Copies of this chain bind each other. A is one copy, B any other.
Amino acid sequence: MSAAAGAVIDARSGQAARREHILDAAEACFVRNGFHRTTMQDLAREASMSPGNIYRYFDAKEAVVLGLAERDRERGAVLVEAMERAGDKRAVLMAILGRFFHDITREAAVLRLDLWAEATRNPAIAALVEQGDEEGRTWLIEMFEAIKTSPACDPATLFDAIAPLMKGIIVSRALAPDYDASPAVAQLHALIDAGLSGSLPRADAETGR
């Protein structure tokens, strides 16, 4: 490799590392003070960078949130690749979901909760949240389609059945530092199994309407 090419790569990895560093700082600020209260100045201080320097990487708080979402997506993609190479897709899906909800840090859960609250009155954040939800939804529905064990399984209905539970696990984790996700994860697995085999609880029975 030429020295010039090496310098380009160093500069690139330096930039990528700086970006990561800002995202870590943002995560810390958002969790400590909330998304709304955090300013780009707070971010700069937390990252020990000048505000001008921060703006070279992210032009607004919303862009930082987008960066965090992209990072989550990249991390998720690694898991998904492992799953797609594996033979037993159902087992790997269950393991990925189980690990995600067991291992999600309180910080990550608080940030998610905060963004949901912000989404109810900030259209830019609402759009980001919706985009993220939609990607997760599409991926899970494709998975369910690939591994369903009965023609009676409707992957979209199955997704709708598990979505509130998944959100509720994150809220529970954010609110209780010692929250144990095991019972909820067991339910999530049981619901998915019921859905894949076409035997979800029906929505029309006795809903109190």
Asked if A5 is at the interface (CB within 8 A of a chain B CB), the reply is: no
The answer to whether B167 and A172 have CB atoms under 8 Å apart is: yes
Could you list 16 A-B pairs, sorted by A, with CB under 8 Å? A31-B120, A32-B121, A98-B208, A99-B208, A113-B116, A113-B117, A116-B171, A161-B187, A163-B172, A165-B187, A167-B168, A168-B169, A171-B171, A187-B191, A187-B200, A187-B201
Known: A98-B206, A98-B208, A208-B99. A164 touches B171 (CB 8 A): yes
By beta carbon, the residue of chain B nearest A99 is B208
Question: Does residue A94 face the partner (Cβ distance < 8 Å to B)?
Answer: yes
Give how many copies assemble into the complex.
2
Per a CB cutoff under 8 Å, which of B95, B97, B110, B207 touches A185?
A: B207
Q: State whether A189 touches B163 (Cβ < 8 A).
A: no
Q: Does A174 contact B (CB under 8 A)?
A: yes
State the interface size on chain A (CB cutoff 8 A). Answer: 58
Interface majority SS (helix, strand, loop, mixed), chain A = helix
Encode contact with B along A113-147: 1 for CB under 8 Å, 0 otherwise. Answer: 11011111100001001000000000000000000
> What sequence of 0s and 1s flags, for each residue 172-201 of chain A, a beta carbon within 8 Å of any chain B beta carbon?
101100000011111101110000000011
Q: Which residues of chain B are within 8 angstroms of A98 by Cβ–Cβ distance? A: 206-209
Report how far A204 CA is from B116 CA in the complex, Å: 30
Tell whether A17 is near chain B: CB-to-CB under 8 Å. Answer: no
